[in-house]
Amino acid sequence: TGYVTLDRGYKNTGATKSAITFLDGEEGILRYRGYSIEELASKASFLEVAYLLIYGELPTKEQFTQFESAIRSHTMVNEDMRKIFDGFPVNAHPMCVLASLVSAMSGFYPESYEGNGDENLDIVRLMAKLPTIATWSYKRSQGHPLNYPKNKLGYIENFLQMMFALPVEDYTVDPVVAEALNILLILHADHEQNCSTSTVRLVGSSQANLYASISAGISALWGPLHGGANQEVIEMLEEIKAGGGDVAKYVDMAKNAKTTGFRLFGFGHRVYKNFDPRAKIIKKAADDVLSKLGVNDPVLEIAKGLEEAALNDEYFVSRKLYPNVDFYSGIIYRALGIPTNMFTVMFAIGRLPGWIAQWKEMRETKEPIGRPRQIYTGSTLREFVPMENR
Ligand code: CMC
């Protein structure tokens, strides 16, 4: 069966060639299709970046209008999906609801797996409906009626309206909130072959449909070592606050990760070994947004203290462990009024265009089915023993 190289966790295995995202972990560089993340986050809109990732170029005015209006006109979700949603317990985690309902979408659009579908339409449907589905969990957890999308609103404004508007009062979108969300979604939009993206590619490599592939990506993202870290960070910071703010104790616990099993959530990255450029932008944005909104969140000070304590510690320095994208993002989400258990859902809304772009590229370059090898460590051949003799 030939020679197999073992690389647990694929730390040094390239799975594909890709023209989408450039990442230099030593220098802390991240670019989408050649454009720096710093420039995109300050100048572009999330949908513009989505178009760039998916179709390879920044859209012209006309292309953008077409893309945006297609998305606007597909924001409603089939009412029968509500029945599936209603079957979930009220306290089901929003990530499990999201993965399930996205998986269910292929059932509503069977052409996606029957092979006679329109790929661009599937892309539009996913982009359009993910925010709608995402807000359902939150609304129900509050005992509020679900809000329908309003197509006169832009992508981010519509999401905020569905999350926060109540039928009994007027709702206007705070531009500070919309702008902060725009930056966060852009920063999350792609990150080359991370765990969830590799999952989307692997599932898609068997030629499973786009909805099924994205649903698998959402499930991969949920894990606490990946996107789920943003929820874990805030829970950790809250715990530190409740215990009197002793950051040194948590640094000590993390240093002994081998025995305590405790890691500093939001710290460390497989690829970034100097700093995570996204974390740099988000840290600054956290200061800006909180001061503009007049929010005083003591957890921000705890986060800064924890970062400082860790970065002055030999354990973290020698292992090149720095705050990652998830370290400060939760503090912003909180200031925007988004509850903790929705943080990873926000990550998923941001990452969706990246997953789609990678799935599309994989199909276009006709990647073979993903099928890693193994080194077998089990028993050698042995003879079957009938049950009565065991
Ligand atoms: N706290 C304490 N020790 C850590 C941490 C941490 N957060 N991260 C890594 N280490 C240690 C680890 O114990 C190991 O030590 P040693 O060399 O003594 O065995 C060393 O640093 C290298 O870690 P690794 O686990 O081999 O590195 P990895 O590339 O497999 O893992 C990671 C990367 C992000 C999963 C990991 O750093 C981690 O678990 N971080 C906490 C979870 C987190 O914040 N995840 C979000 C990642 S960024 C965005 C995203 O994907 O969502």
CA dist., res. 297 & res. 291, Å (int): 10
| 188 a catalytic residue | no
Q: Provide the token pair at 234.
A: 């805030």
Is the backbone of residue 192 left (phi > 0), alpha (psi -120 to 50) or beta? Answer: left
Quote the pLDDT of residue 1: 55
| Closest residue by CA, ligand 1 atom 16 | 319
For residue 269, how far is its CA from the centre of ligand 1 (angstroms)?
6
User: Is 236 near ligand 1, meaning CB less than 6 Å away?
Assistant: no
Quote the pLDDT of residue 115: 85
Per-residue pLDDT of the chain in tens (390 residues, 90 and over written 9): 578 999 999 999 999 999 999 999 999 999 999 999 999 999 999 999 999 999 999 999 999 999 999 999 999 999 999 999 999 999 999 999 999 999 999 999 999 999 899 999 999 999 999 999 999 999 999 999 999 999 999 999 999 999 999 999 999 999 999 999 999 999 999 999 999 999 999 999 999 999 999 999 999 999 999 999 999 999 999 999 999 999 999 999 999 989 989 999 999 999 999 899 999 999 999 988 999 999 999 999 999 999 999 999 999 999 999 999 999 999 999 999 999 999 999 999 999 999 999 999 999 999 999 999 999 999 999 999 999 999
Quote the pLDDT of residue 352: 98
- Give the CA dihedral 129, 133, 136, 141, nearest 10 degrees: -150
User: Is 317 near ligand 1, meaning CB less than 6 Å away?
Assistant: no
Q: By C-alpha distance, which of 299, 175, 163, 318 is closest to 243?
A: 299
Quote the pLDDT of residue 229: 93
User: Is 149 near ligand 1, meaning CB less than 6 Å away?
Assistant: no
User: Is 269 near ligand 1, meaning CB less than 6 Å away?
Assistant: yes
CA dist., res. 387 & res. 116, Å (int): 50
| Closest residue by CA, ligand 1 atom 39 | 225
For residue 352, how far is its CA from the centre of ligand 1 (angstroms)?
24
User: Is 227 near ligand 1, meaning CB less than 6 Å away?
Assistant: yes
| Count of CB atoms situated within 10 Å of the CB of 147 | 19
Quote the pLDDT of residue 3: 86
For residue 204, how far is its CA from the centre of ligand 1 (angstroms)?
28
For residue 205, how far is its CA from the centre of ligand 1 (angstroms)?
28
| 24 a catalytic residue | no
Residue 24 in 3-state DSSP?
strand
| Mutation test residue for ligand 1: of 324, 325, 329, 345, the one with most atoms within 8 Å of CB | 324
Quote the pLDDT of residue 232: 92
User: Is 266 near ligand 1, meaning CB less than 6 Å away?
Assistant: yes
Q: By C-alpha distance, which of 153, 192, 162 is closest to 37?
A: 192
For residue 380, how far is its CA from the centre of ligand 1 (angstroms)?
35
Catalytic entry in 174, 269, 288, 313: 269
User: Is 265 near ligand 1, meaning CB less than 6 Å away?
Assistant: yes
C-alpha angle with apex 379: 376 to 384, nearest 5 degrees? 130
